[in-house]
Structure formats: structure tokens, C-alpha cells
Amino acid sequence: MKKLILSLSCLVALAAQGLAQEKKEVAANPGAPVTTLVSENMAFKVDTHDFGTIPEGPAAEFEFSFKNTGKEPIIIQRVQPSCGCTTPTYTKDPILPGKTGVIKASYGTQGRPGPFNKNLTVLSNAGSKVLFIKGEVEKAPESSVPQNNSMIKTN
């Protein structure tokens, strides 16, 4: 009988220790669900894209794709660009294990000649990941600007 009571008390002590550890993890990040995901579970094919030299005018776009290598769905909460000249769109639905998600970066080149180097921070339940786009916008020739055929004089 003493052995049974001793065994049960050891089990209770181990269970209490496990609960205390779980409470400590939850307290460190309150409100966040416990997950096994890490940012490496968003396995991107590339995390940097170089557009090279591109013409001024149309937006430069690139799709970053990644595979969920974890055991839980990945949910992208938001994608934060480094400035207003870059517009992100991304997969809104949960990306199931083994499936692919996409983050599309669109850089507005109009009125921005010269080199650029921008980043997008992906925030998800797997953590955060930073993606980069870079390149150089070649100034549009002056002749490509439409002529002012207005009847109103500007002088």
C-alpha cells in the first residue's frame, strides 16, 4: 500500500511540474496558442529577389512561394512592407502541412528612378520572416511623357 501511495504521489508531482512548465510558457506569451511551428517551417524557395534593371512606369511584381514543412497549419496574420512604395498580397487561408502559400510583392516604379532595396516582414503563427526585393529603376525617357495639348496656357 505504501508503494502505491508513493507511486501516485510521484505521478502527481510530475504532472504538477509539467503543468507549471506549460503555465510558464503561456505566461511568457499570453494569449498565444501553444504551437510547434517555427519560422523555418515556412520554407521559402528564395527570400531575396533581384529585379535587375527595370523600366520606370509599370509596377514590378514578384511572388515568393513557400511550403509548410510543419505539422500544423500556418496562418499569415499580416505582411508589413518597409515603405508605402511596396504593396504586399498574400495567402489568406491557412496553409496546411505540405501545402504551398504565396506572398506577392508589388513595387511601384513610377517616379522612383534609381536603385531600391525593400523588405517585407511576414508575421504568422510560425513566427516572422523577412523577405527582400531589390533592383534599379531606369528613368523613363522624356519623350515618353504625354504632350500637354490643353487649350489653357500655362505661361
Q: Which residue has the higher pLDDT, 23 or 91?
A: 91
23 pLDDT more than 50: no
> 27-41, 83-97, 111-125: lowest mean pLDDT where?
27-41
The answer to whether residue 8 scores a pLDDT higher than 50 is no
Instruction: Write the pLDDT tens digit of every residue in 32-45.
Output: 567 788 989 999 99
The rounded distance, in Å, linking the Cα atoms of 81 and 54 is 20
Give the tens place of pLDDT for each residue, 116-147: 999 999 999 999 999 999 999 999 887 655 66
Check residues 2 and 111 and name the one with the higher pLDDT.
111
pTM above 0.75, yes or no: no
Mean pLDDT of 5-16: 49
Cα torsion 139, 144, 145, 148 to 10°: value is 160
What pLDDT was estimated at residue 30?
Answer: 58
Pairing of strands 114-124, 76-81: antiparallel
Nearest-Å Rg of the Cα atoms of the chain is 26
